[in-house]
Chains A and B, each alone.
Chain A
Amino acid sequence: MAARLTRLTQVLLILLGVLSARLIQLQVIQGARYARLSDRNRIRKLVLPAPRGRILDRNGVLLADTRPSFTVSVVPTELTDSALPLLAHMLGVPESTLQAQLAPVAMFASPVNVKRDVTIEEVARIEELSFRLPGVDVRVDPVRRYPTANRYCHVLGHIGEVSEDELKHDTSLRRLDFVGRAGIEAQYESMLRGRDGSEYAEVDARGQEIGTLREKHPEPEMPGRNLVMTIDDRIQRLACQLLAPYDRAAVVGMETRTGAIVCLVSKPDFDPNIFMTPIDAETWDSLTSNPSKPFFNRALTSGYPPGSTMKPVVALGALRQGALYRDTRFQTCLGSYKYGNRTFKCNAAHGSLDLVGAIAQSCNTYFYQAGLRLGLDSLTAYAREVGLGRLTGIDMPGERPGNIPSREWLDSRYGKNKWGAGSVLNFAIGQGEVTTTPLQMAVLYGAIASGGRAVRPYLVARVDSAGLAIRTTVPDFRQLPMRRQDIEVVKLGLERVVEWGTGTGARVKEIDIAGKTGTAQNPPRLDHAWFVGYAPADKPEVVFAVLVENAGHGGTVSAPIAGQLIRAYFSPPESDSIPASQPADTSAAPQHE
């Protein structure tokens, strides 16, 4: 036992010896140097902010980048009581605001950002009075810029300052940092953000940097990854132009074979650049009080009755169940359909039609009867199977599934069996409680166009780091329960729609388009105008879903928009029609428009 006591004492002595040796090294050998660092001078940890990744369209057009901005920072432990009111005055913010901002970090000895985007005049004044502002510093920080202004507000989303809560949970965030708040900016936050670097500087008593600290190597910042989107800016711009006359509308364009989104527009829009600087109350109020809700992405978070664009689903479901054949003719359409003691209207007196004719003419009478034959349960089940009432899985936050009013749903809403048999009739023509999003309709029609293969839509084609792709999106498919021969019948109907049916407005000279109009009732206001179509009809490549709220008939309002977009998609980009993308501004001066 004595030997073990000796051994343990030796271990203890070795440990104490190691600590003593290190103490002698720090306090005697390097003591003078540390005394200097501690006494007259100080050291400071400086953050080297990482620029957020850039976002480009499929052809390399810049959609989002960063610009330099002057940011005022304060070392809280060095700021004197007299400097606080002076700084508040110079920055034009109330002293109490500044105090509140600094209170939680009062013990920090490294700079904390207090105001971004100060003007060059403000910078000059701060520098002039720097002797009265110890601990105050101006640095150049990268700040997000959207050179395309409103055009991508819903696709890219926007970024916003971190909240107190986020600061607590993510230690890599700093005060006044921005994080993605919606759209691609939020979805790909971890890719875009990058990693801040740091550097340790020695500063003298007046707070001036006199060199970097050799104990600690600088850690270089790692810029965020760049995203290459599937969006084609040419098409997106045209879509924005075409929607300009309308208050509330949405367009989704997608490649039928891959799911790559070609354009995605929601109206009304807003300028995401406003979030980069403190927003003035007026702008903010006008945005938030706008009844059309500009922040709302109608392309994938809305729910609209699909109107007659629902009919191909009814047709495919009925064909698959054997409830219907291509040449089935129902009770002749005299402009309305009587069911029980209620009369359900049609848009015209179509006479006797087969399925193809009924699709082409969008005959309600025909589809009321088709829906009745199929039955509510089969209809809702089928609608779900082909993707309605479910998320498409697009790489964007906030998507909503829409609603397919099943028996259970109707029971819960109206009470058990308290709803009328008219529900199935309404459902069959896409009216009433059934709601879908333009994105869902684009995916659904894309699936019809490509023989029942539903794609998962996506917006980001590639994630790049230093010019190298580190992630490429692989298209993702799901086979829908649609029979090939049934699809052929429905496609024929969709071709007829544009040839001589309700969708002739979509016709363009060079390309055969197939599609379906929809006019969703929205009493007491005007109807919502739908058109969903793909092209070329015989070998589909692209599908567009167009929805304009309260604009009237799908055939007259939405179909021409889709036609224009499809034509643009297939026409070679003319050099004069593409404005040069704005190059990234690399000058040090911040932009003030």
Chain B
Amino acid sequence: MKRFDPGLIAATLLLASFGLLAIYSSGGSYFFFRQLIFLAAAIGAAAAAVFIPRRILYGLAEPIYGLAVLMLIAVLIAGTGPGSHRWFVLGPVYVQPSEFAKLTTVLLLAKHLSYKRTIGLSFRDLALPAAIAAVPSLLVMVEPDLSTSLIFAAMLAAMLYWQGMRPLHILLLFSPALSFAAGFSLYTWIPFFVVMGIILLFRAGVRNALVGLGVSAGFGLLSPVVLASLKGYQRARIMSFFAPWFDPHGISWNAIQSQIAIGSGRLIGKGLFQGSQKRLGFLPNRHTDFVFSSLGEELGLVGCLVLLGLFFWLVRRILLAARQSGDSTGSLLCVGFAAIIGYQMFVNIGMLLGMLPITGITLPFVSYGGSSLLLNFLMVGLVLNVISRPE
């Protein structure tokens, strides 16, 4: 062993403890004990991940990526979920292939990006990494689970940046997709287009700016066309996933409930296990995606800030690990993991605070759920592997 990082381990375990408390408070002992079992398994898996020779892991990157893609296809055919196909039900356990796909995609991306010294905005440089991220992302989008599918974009962006790509080029790379998503409403698309235009004019020169804006406009125009070609109920379904801020019924109710729960926690909270919103059954899925709302209600601003602090500490430790690693694949691996954790933390909490549309996404280490916990701990185990074992 070369080095070890007790800070990283402490942050992880503290976050998981926060999760256990919140799950006990909002879900009861049944979910608490199940989560405890998951946690034991997850720690075991993390410990094993520390000792896997990374060369073997990198060698396996393609086959396990392929396996993850196959699972994502299979779950579309045979999976279940609320109005979607997200999980396999194996006896008492729900397996969510998209969790597994995140890990394998980071691994394969890290392997391929590490071959390159620099990355520019060229087809030769970007085609393969973009395809590696796009395949699972599109499959997850079909489930449909838009917010999870965007994780792949976040990790790709972070890893490209880490490998030296210019932020402006990253923006250009993602602008067609961003434009398409914004295009579901003029209210989101026009500001997007204006900001995009300003950035490009100042940073990319007139010719490149016009090309970039033209491509963006094309993709932006595509979304109303796609939308118009659908039947009414299909359109409603798509809109509620891609642009939930248009759905006045289903979604906003949960958002308001969540805001009231968090807001009513005030400075120091109502006290652990004392949340009334939660007790009255206002909060849906309150031990999974909405676990932060009960924490906010019971522990108040102080508790929330402590939690955010733990996340900062954790992600910061992972990024430091990325810098310390002498192995460029391992370094990229860490950045990808940091992107996953940072993205999920921001989207999950942001939606509960009423800043982002409500979609199903877990709060890493805290939300109830075996697949999610296992993945998060595996990531920590691999980070420890990267910093402790030279390749």
Contact = CB atoms under 8 A, between A and B. Distances in A.
Interface of A: 1-2, 4-5, 7-9, 11-13, 15-16, 18-20, 22-24, 26-28, 30-35, 37-39, 42-43, 45, 77, 106-110, 170-172, 190, 196, 198, 200, 213, 215-216, 219
B248 interface: yes
Contacts, number: 130
A26 B354 CA distance: 10
Contacts of B249: 171-172, 196, 198, 219
Interface string B245-262: 000111011001101111
Contacts of B301: 23-24, 27-28
B250 A171 contact: yes
B308 A26 contact: no
A1 B355 contact: no
Contacts of B257: 109
Contacts of A172: 236, 249
Contacts of B243: none
B263 A34 contact: yes
A42 B198 CA distance: 46
B353 A23 contact: yes
A108 B322 CA distance: 47
17 contacts: A8-B158, A8-B338, A9-B319, A12-B316, A23-B308, A24-B301, A27-B263, A28-B266, A31-B264, A34-B260, A77-B280, A107-B284, A109-B257, A109-B281, A215-B259, A216-B256, A219-B248
Interface in B272-291: 276-277, 280-282, 284
Contacts of A43: 256, 260
A5 B324 CA distance: 11
- Report, as a range, how many residues of chain B touch the other chain: 35 or more
Interface of B: 83, 158, 161-162, 232-233, 236, 248-250, 252-253, 256-257, 259-267, 276-277, 280-282, 284, 296-297, 300-301, 304-305, 308, 311-312, 315-316, 319-320, 322-323, 335, 338, 342, 345-346, 349-350, 353-355
B281 A27 contact: no
Among B266, B342, B355, the one with the most A-chain Cβ atoms within 10 Å of its Cβ is B266
Given A7-B161, A27-B266, 15 more contacts: A12-B312, A12-B315, A16-B311, A20-B308, A23-B305, A26-B262, A26-B263, A27-B300, A28-B267, A34-B260, A35-B266, A38-B264, A77-B280, A109-B281, A172-B249
B248 A198 contact: yes
B263 A45 contact: no
Given A26-B259, A109-B282, A37 B264 contact: yes
A23 B315 contact: no
Nearest to A77: B281
B116 to A, nearest CB: 15
Contact of B161 (A8, A30, A216): A8
A9 B316 contact: yes
A110 B61 CA distance: 49
Nearest to A36: B264
Contacts of B300: 27
Contacts of A34: 259-260, 262-264, 266
A234 to B, nearest CB: 35
A22 B335 contact: no
B296 A23 contact: yes
Contacts of A190: 232
A198 B308 CA distance: 35
B269 to A, nearest CB: 9
B304 A23 contact: yes
B148 to A, nearest CB: 18
A122 to B, nearest CB: 28
Top-9 shortest CB links A-B:
A34-B263, A38-B264, A31-B266, A26-B263, A107-B281, A219-B248, A34-B264, A27-B301, A35-B264
Nearest to A200: B256
B322 A5 contact: yes
Contact of B346 (A15, A213, A215): A15
B308 to A, nearest CB: 5
A2 B355 CA distance: 32
A171 to B, nearest CB: 6
A33 B281 contact: no
Nearest to A33: B263
A12 B342 contact: yes
B168 to A, nearest CB: 13
Nearest to B258: A26
Given A26-B262, A43-B256, A4 B280 contact: no
B263 A35 contact: yes
A20 B256 CA distance: 18
Contacts of B315: 12
Given A5-B322, A77-B281, A16 B266 contact: no
Contacts of B232: 190
A106 B284 CA distance: 12
A15 B342 contact: yes
Which of A9, A106, A200, A213 has most B Cβ within 10 Å?
Answer: A9
